Amino acid sequence: MKKTTTAISLLVTALVITNTWWAYRLLDMGISYTYQGVSLEENQQALSQALAIIKTLGTNDASRKKIVLAAQAAWPSSEPFEKDGYLWVGRLGLRFNEDGRLVDAVSGYKIKGAAQSP
């Protein structure tokens, strides 16, 4: 009887440990999948905005207002705001010179390590 009780206890312990491991893996995969979806949507937003800006820059009279309107029209998610010298429209940060010409564009909010245009 003692052998069967020990065997059952070991099997129950192994079952609990393996079920806990599977539950952890399932939770981790769910979080990773959600993060992947959010990242994909942000990249799609930045790409569509960048393509809209490129089309607008193809014209010779691409003003600051036209560039911002093109970026907003490509993915209308939020109002533009200024931070760290950039005008943020969705996922793109746009830097304009005094004449209103686009001199730099970055993706995301990581300005510190972003390459600067000459």
Average the pLDDT over 22-45 and give the result: 93
116 in any annotated domain? no
CA distances from 118 to 6, 7, 97, 115 (A): 74, 72, 12, 9
118 in any annotated domain? no
And the tokens for 54? 């490129």
Specify the residue for token string 């312990």.
13
Contact assessment for residue 80 and residue 66, using Cβ atoms and an 8 Å cutoff: no
113 in any annotated domain? no
99 in any annotated domain? yes
In angstroms, the CA 84 to CA 70 distance is 22
Contact assessment for residue 94 and residue 87, using Cβ atoms and an 8 Å cutoff: yes
115 in any annotated domain? no
pTM of the model: 0.64
Higher pLDDT, residue 112 or 49: 49
Contact assessment for residue 74 and residue 52, using Cβ atoms and an 8 Å cutoff: yes
Tell me, what amino acid is at 21?
Answer: W
The model's pLDDT over 66-89, given as tens digits with 9 standing for 90+, comes to 888 888 888 877 788 888 888 888
Higher pLDDT, residue 66 or 17: 17
Q: What was the pLDDT predicted at 111?
A: 46
50 in any annotated domain? yes
Task: Provide the number of structural domains found in the chain.
Answer: 1
Coil/strand/helix, residue 93: strand
